[in-house]
Amino acid sequence: MKKEDYYEIYELWSSSREIRINIQDDTYEKISKFIDYNPHLCIVSIENSEIIGSVLAGYDGRRGHIYHTIVRSDYRSKGIGNKLIDKVLDEFKSKEVKEIDLLSVINNHEGNNFWEHKGFLLNENLYYRRKNI
């Protein structure tokens, strides 16, 4: 993923009910910084010069985090999401990351089935909390 891809990726995110865009964190400036920190963990899938899938992932020195994973609806069920996530998992392994977190929208049944299939367990012992400052 390159910084120049931002607007096309943002459009892809915006076209989906499964992605929750955060107006504070998902700006061009913040995503550009995120790509600078995690260049090998932010990946796109391209076909016919168009971005058809992307994953935004990062490593904070302690844990891996996966954000905003999407495959364009007309390209789903073709293994693109698996390839994107497998690439990210390989990158995490190369950094010796032992734990990866992600958030998924509760009513995103297709996405939650995908994550379950990839071996991500539901943690029912935690609350996700947020405070904007």
Domains of the chain and any CATH numbers: 3-117 (3.40.630.30)
23: buried, middle or exposed (CB in 10 Å: 19+, 13-18, 0-12)? exposed
Tokens of 83: 């390839």
Q: Using an 8 Å Cβ cutoff, are 11 and 26 in contact?
A: no
Q: What pLDDT, on a 0 to 100 scale, did the predictor assign at position 9?
A: 96
Ranges under pLDDT 50 in the chain = none
Q: What pLDDT, on a 0 to 100 scale, did the predictor assign at position 44?
A: 97
**What are all long-range contacts of 129-132, with beta carbons under 8 Å and residues at least 24 apart?**
132/24
Q: Using an 8 Å Cβ cutoff, are 121 and 101 in contact?
A: no
Q: What pLDDT, on a 0 to 100 scale, did the predictor assign at position 129?
A: 80
Q: What pLDDT, on a 0 to 100 scale, did the predictor assign at position 58?
A: 96
Q: What pLDDT, on a 0 to 100 scale, did the predictor assign at position 23?
A: 87
